[in-house]
């Protein structure tokens, strides 16, 4: 007897998938990428990438999941295309790998939330402001702090996933997503009063210079931020009921994800542009910007004592709704394929990923051997960076291209049409959708894979 897989209630899918999509990628990675790529035009290209590559692939993933009600490996077996279950295997490995280092950074946000509360209560002194960089450096190279917060975050994720689709994932995302939106909205409103607001809007929406590399970065990021290419959306799609519309749900998730990313940019750039130009040098793409620079800016604003803790709790919430989707992919595999009990699968895999993640946690300065490890030459440095490089440049694009090819070329058109039309009614854009999956998405992603292999580029 196999256990009940569970399913989402109304809006459950949209909120859970948006929760998966909205994460560190939106609030931390996208703003610094936009900053590095000179704003305006990069944002525009990114929007295009979301619409012509991200949205069609998201729909493809939902179709695979919902038509089979299975997690990726089992889904392709059920569709009688066992060769494509490689997508599922790759997805389980990718989920495992991404979660192992993502949880480390997510843990930092918890630490900084606590720090933020402390600063707000005790006062954020100029001595504190002057040593933010050193404090961050000391924190990420402190082994017990790194392992501790990583453990804490994995613990939170396990606690949610253990309660299953409805009682865990849906229940949490239904609470956290509105809260997240509310916090971010209030931060946006506050930032409208900062000096840098107008300049920030100009930077974000005025056309700017753009290079071919930025184009690729935009496509690559669209994948990461929408949680595509590794079966997370296939898995969540497998819990979606036939009453829900696939195109509308996918469009909503893409829209929410993009809105949140843009709002995060408005907040950060308003703060950044409130600082004199000479001091802005420090805001380049470094892993620590959010922790070494933002506090200074927050505490300089009226009402600053509320902003820093609110901001870090916001990021922690966003990260949690993402880590649970990564864990769910791995757990669902063991439930569907090996018939493990959910509680057992979650505990065992949560613990295993935690253990593996210790390597990343200690590779940011705590253990020289792990920090200096360079198996791929100058592509990456240290375990953390190497895993992020592999996932963003290899696993996700390869998974994405295979998914596009599968639904574009292999799955019969009548099959995909029938599935999309359940809960939606007749779908007039079916031809366009298949066209994007057949040609546009593989070409765009193929170009990424090509330039990673032959031109030695990297996009994380």
Q: Point out which residues bind ligand TRP (CB under 6 A).
A: 20-21, 23-26, 98, 224-225, 227, 230, 232, 322, 325-326, 396
- Would you say 190 or 290 has its CB closer to ligand TRP? 290
Nearest CA-CA partner of 260 in 151, 180, 321, 331: 180
* Residue 437 Cβ vs ligand TRP, minimum distance, rounded to whole Å: 19
* Residue 53 Cβ vs ligand TRP, minimum distance, rounded to whole Å: 14
Taking the CA of residue 453 as centre, how many other CA atoms within 13 Å lie in the half-sphere pointing to its CB? 10
Q: Which helix (H) or strand (E) holds 429?
A: none
- Would you say 162 or 254 has its CB closer to ligand TRP? 254
- Would you say 371 or 393 has its CB closer to ligand TRP? 393
Q: Please give the Cα distance from 37 to 42 (Å, whole number).
A: 6
* Residue 50 Cβ vs ligand TRP, minimum distance, rounded to whole Å: 12
Q: Please, which residues have CB within 8 angstroms of residue 163's CB and are 6 or more apart in sequence?
A: 169, 171
* Residue 370 Cβ vs ligand TRP, minimum distance, rounded to whole Å: 23
- Would you say 23 or 54 has its CB closer to ligand TRP? 23
* Residue 116 Cβ vs ligand TRP, minimum distance, rounded to whole Å: 21
- Would you say 21 or 246 has its CB closer to ligand TRP? 21
The Cα-based distances of 428 to 14, 421, 422, 425 in angstroms read: 22, 10, 13, 9
Q: Which residues of 105-142 are buried (b: 16+ CB within 10 A; e: fewer)?
A: bbbbbbbbbebbeebbeeebeeebeeebeebbeebbbe
- Would you say 190 or 319 has its CB closer to ligand TRP? 319
* Residue 359 Cβ vs ligand TRP, minimum distance, rounded to whole Å: 19
Q: Please give the Cα distance from 334 to 401 (Å, whole number).
A: 25
The Cα-based distances of 62 to 66, 179, 218, 267 in angstroms read: 6, 26, 23, 32
């Amino acid at each position: 007897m196999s256990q009940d897989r569970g399913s989402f209630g109304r809006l459950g899918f949209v909120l859970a998938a948006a929760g998966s999509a909205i994460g560190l990628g939106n609030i931390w990675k996208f703003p610094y990428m936009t900053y590095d790529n000179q704003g305006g035009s990069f944002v525009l290209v990114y929007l295009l990438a979301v619409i012509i590559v991200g949205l069609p692939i998201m729909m493809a993933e939902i179709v695979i999941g919902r038509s089979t009600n299975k997690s990726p490996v089992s889904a392709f077996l059920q569709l009688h295309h066992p060769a494509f279950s490689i997508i599922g295997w790759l997805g389980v490995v990718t989920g495992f790998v991404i979660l192992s280092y993502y949880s480390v950074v997510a843990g930092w946000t918890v630490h900084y939330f606590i720090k933020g509360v402390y600063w707000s209560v005790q006062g954020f002194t100029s001595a504190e402001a002057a040593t933010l960089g050193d404090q961050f450096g000391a924190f990420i190279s402190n082994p017990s702090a790194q392992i501790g917060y990583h453990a804490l975050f994995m613990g939170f994720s396990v606690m949610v996933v253990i309660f299953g689709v409805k009682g865990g994932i849906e229940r949490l995302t239904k609470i956290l997503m509105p809260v997240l939106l509310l916090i971010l909205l209030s931060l946006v409103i506050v930032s409208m009063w900062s000096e840098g607001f107008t300049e920030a809007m100009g930077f974000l929406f005025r056309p700017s210079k753009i290079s071919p590399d930025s184009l690729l970065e935009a496509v690559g990021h669209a994948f990461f931020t929408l949680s595509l290419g590794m079966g997370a959306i296939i898995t969540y799609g497998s819990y979606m009921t036939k009453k829900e519309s696939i195109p509308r749900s996918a469009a909503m998730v893409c829209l929410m994800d993009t809105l949140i990313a843009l709002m995060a940019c408005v907040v950060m750039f308003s703060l950044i542009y409130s600082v004199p130009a000479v001091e802005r040098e420090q805001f380049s793409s470094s892993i620590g910007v959010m922790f070494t620079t933002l506090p200074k800016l927050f505490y300089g604003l009226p009402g600053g004592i509320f902003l820093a803790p609110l901001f870090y709790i916001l990021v922690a919430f966003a990260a949690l709704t993402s880590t649970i989707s990564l864990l769910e992919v791995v757990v669902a595999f063991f439930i569907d394929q090996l018939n493990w009990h959910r509680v057992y699968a979650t505990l065992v895999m949560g613990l295993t990923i935690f253990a593996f993640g210790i390597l990343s946690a200690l590779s940011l300065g705590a253990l020289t051997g792990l920090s200096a490890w360079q198996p791929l030459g100058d592509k990456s440095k240290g375990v953390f960076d190497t895993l992020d490089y592999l996932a963003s440049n290899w696993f996700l694009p390869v998974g994405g291209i295979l998914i596009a090819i599968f639904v574009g070329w292999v799955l019969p058109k009548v099959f995909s049409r029938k599935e999309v039309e359940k809960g939606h009614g007749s779908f007039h854009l079916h031809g366009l959708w298949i066209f994007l999956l057949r040609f546009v998405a593989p070409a765009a992603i193929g170009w990424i894979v090509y330039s990673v292999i032959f031109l030695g580029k990297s996009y994380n």
